[in-house]
Amino acid sequence: MRIETDPKLGYEDVLIRPKRSTLGSRKKVDLTRKFSFRNYLSNTDIHYDGIPIMAANMDGVGTISMAQSLSSQQLFTCLIKSYDSAELTDVFTTNSNLKESTAMSIGITSPELEKFASVKKEVGTDLKYICVDVANGYSERFVDFISALRDDYADVVIIAGNVVTADQTQELLLNGADIIKVGIGPGSVCTTRIKTGVGYPQLSAVIECSDAAHGLNGHIIADGGCVFPGDVVKAFAGGADFVMIGGMRAGHNEGGGDVVTKYHNDGEYILDKDTNSYTPAIKPKSFVEFYGMSSKTANEKHFGGLKDYRSSEGRTALVPYRGEVEETVQDILGGIRSACTYVGARKLKQLSKCTTFVTTARQYNTRYEESTIGD
């Protein structure tokens, strides 16, 4: 056993120091990035051009409807694993705009590989991105799977994860992956850290893995743990090429979950003039169920229940229903634009170079948080 004592940081441990800047308006900030990927085809063309924020491949988030909406806003979606090959073939052949902004997702079982092979055969180059993710990206079997996938398919951008350390980021890049998904345990509906004690503070994971990846012309996704738009900013500022979001995208129409109404009293009472008594005002509030993909709920939905040798590593939560996703996207993008003007970054690409983090014990003032009634 050993103990590492140098500090490791989460998004909640830092703020970004403002700097003098000549940047006049938020409107002028360019949030798009262009990337070419290290193992995808053997040329140096631009392979990706868009706003590098991804919807997570989670139920209620990584849906086809979400992909269609986000694609029109230049954002990316990793589709959930449960779509069958007919649905995927249909979506990629009839929506060629999704080619540049949408990944099919699989795990590392034989049926999943066969599903990918059959969709790829039907769709050809219109299926460009494959996201291969497992809870633990450290197994030899996972690395071998990525390596074999690369040998068989030169013309797919391989997203692989999840890991949190520089060594395994490099291992996966050297074995054929293009983009490494970084994050173990930071997610909003994840209980891995509670159940297993395993994890790594997310900002440090992003800083260390991006540094390792960029040395090999690889890219990383900061996956999970963003609670506020400011956290998405911190992820980019820490060196992330892409940021993946689950919980911040949950509760929208595009996620397709059932909207449930709960009735509650928020402290308001109604006066009954006849009896001169007060009764609690009961108001409806709408929610959508959102759960981790390793939760008991997800295991019951997709795998016929939790296997007896596993514990659930996810929560099931009710999140407020929030209508269309477009407004949420604008809120996140507005936050990033504003951050760029604070540090003098004309382009998202420059944000990391322009950033000095300061560590802090207190993120923001919570005095009126409970009594907030609007923006």
Q: How many C-beta neighbours within 10 Å does residue 347 have?
A: 14
Q: Which of 78, 190, 226, 354 is catalytic?
A: 190
Half-sphere exposure of 7 (CA within 13 A, CB side): 7
Angle 202-205-207 from CA coordinates, rounded to 5°:
110
The least distance separating ligand 5GP from the CB of residue 298, rounded to whole angstroms, comes to 6
Query: CA 18 to CA 167: how far, in whole Å?
Result: 33
Q: Helices 64-72 and 85-94, interaxial angle, to 10°?
A: 20
Phi-psi region of 174 (alpha: psi -120 to 50; beta: other; left: phi over 0): alpha
What lies within 8 Å, CB to CB, of 273 at 6+ separation is none
**In the complex, least distance from residue 302 CB atom to ligand 5GP, rounded to whole angstroms:** 12
Smallest gap, in angstroms, from Cβ of residue 20 to ligand 5GP?
A: 33
Token readout for 354 is: 């322009």
- Whether 192 is a known active-site residue: answer yes
**Which of 63, 89, 169, 192 is an active site residue?**
192
CB of 101 to ligand 5GP, least distance (A): 17
CB of 320 to ligand 5GP, least distance (A): 15
Is the Cβ of residue 189 or residue 233 nearer to ligand 5GP in the bound state? 189
Contact yes or no for 97/74 (Cβ under 8 A):
no
Strand, coil or helix: 124:
helix
Residues that bind ligand 5GP (CB under 6 A): 56, 58, 135, 162, 183, 185, 187-190, 192, 223-226, 244-248, 292-295, 313-314
- Nearer to ligand 5GP by Cβ, of 52 and 247: the residue is 247
Q: Which is nearer to ligand 5GP, 105 or 341 (CB)?
A: 105
Residue closer to ligand 5GP, measured from CB, 238 or 314? 314
> Dihedral through CA 143, CA 224, CA 212, CA 197, nearest 10?
-70
Indicate the residue among 89 and 238 with the shorter CB distance to ligand 5GP: 238
Enzyme catalytic residues: 190, 192
